[in-house]
Chain A
Amino acid sequence: MANIYLQPTLTGGLDETLIEVATAVPSFVIGLLVFVWGLVFISGSATQKAKSGYADTPMWSVMASLSTMVICLLLTIKGGLINLETLGIVVAITIFSGLWLFMSRGRGEI
């Protein structure tokens, strides 16, 4: 059956471009992950401090690490974007953030 309209491949060129950029500039993906982590951590802490006068930095560290890890995991689906060492470091930083969060709690806190 002939289609009167063929849906274009929306990501066909984009992911190839991403892989070409990551191949040409290996630090691109790492820089992107660092940017995401810093964006969530700094903006979250600063906004909370502005609103409540108190910044729960360990919690924002966990939030930033989880955000970064999810993006990192998505990048692992297609080969060429990220390597196993980077994924291991991201997971390790996420676990460290959890250690910081749970060891920083006072009485009555989560």
Chain B
Amino acid sequence: MGQIKFLSGIFMTSLFAIAIITFAINFGIDNDSSVTLDNDPDFSEINSDLTGDIQTFNINANTSSDTIMSTTQETGDQSASSGGQFKVGTATGITTVTRVIRIGFKKIFGEDTNFGVVFTLLTSLLVFISGLYIWKAWKGNPD
């Protein structure tokens, strides 16, 4: 799994979460259900947050693409000095998947801190993998 697959998986997860939550909320509204997900503020909040993250990614990705299109390299240059164009999307992607994991743990395990270490490990691992992917795209294969 490379960086493109990794980020695609993250954003597909975000879209999947938005689709599921929106469907569940609208099912309750359409059928005038006695119990509806619309009454849970956590899900409504994460739904709007994920949508905002994807809109942010849209702006950043287009800005970064413009930068890449206008990039020139002098003879002998081997890599961009900042590598900013390789970092776009990763931070937003990690934010979205962190929101998804957090809401999952909160709903399944509650606020119990004993399970918090699992959430911490998962998000830390994703950040670590993202760092390696950025480095790989920017400078080559890390050891």
> A: which residues have CB within 8 A of B?
69, 73, 76-80, 82-85, 87-89, 91-96, 98-99, 102-103, 105-107
Given B24, B40, B42, which contacts A73 in the complex, CB threshold below 8 Å? B24
CB nearest neighbor in A for B101: A99
Q: How far is the CB of A75 from chain B (nearest CB, A)?
A: 8
* CA distance in complex: A88, B44 (Å): 12
Q: How many A-B residue pairs have CB under 8 A?
A: 89
A95 touches B103 (CB 8 A): yes
- Other contacts beyond A83-B35, A88-B43, A105-B1: 10, CB < 8 A: A73-B27, A76-B34, A79-B34, A80-B34, A84-B37, A84-B39, A91-B20, A93-B104, A95-B13, A95-B20
Interface string of B1-42 (1 = CB under 8 A from A): 110010011101100110011001001100111111101101
Given A79, A80, A93, A105, which contacts B108 in the complex, CB threshold below 8 Å? A93
Given B12, B13, B28, B108, which contacts A76 in the complex, CB threshold below 8 Å? B28
Q: A99-B101, A107-B5 are in contact. Are A91 and B24 (CB under 8 A)?
A: yes
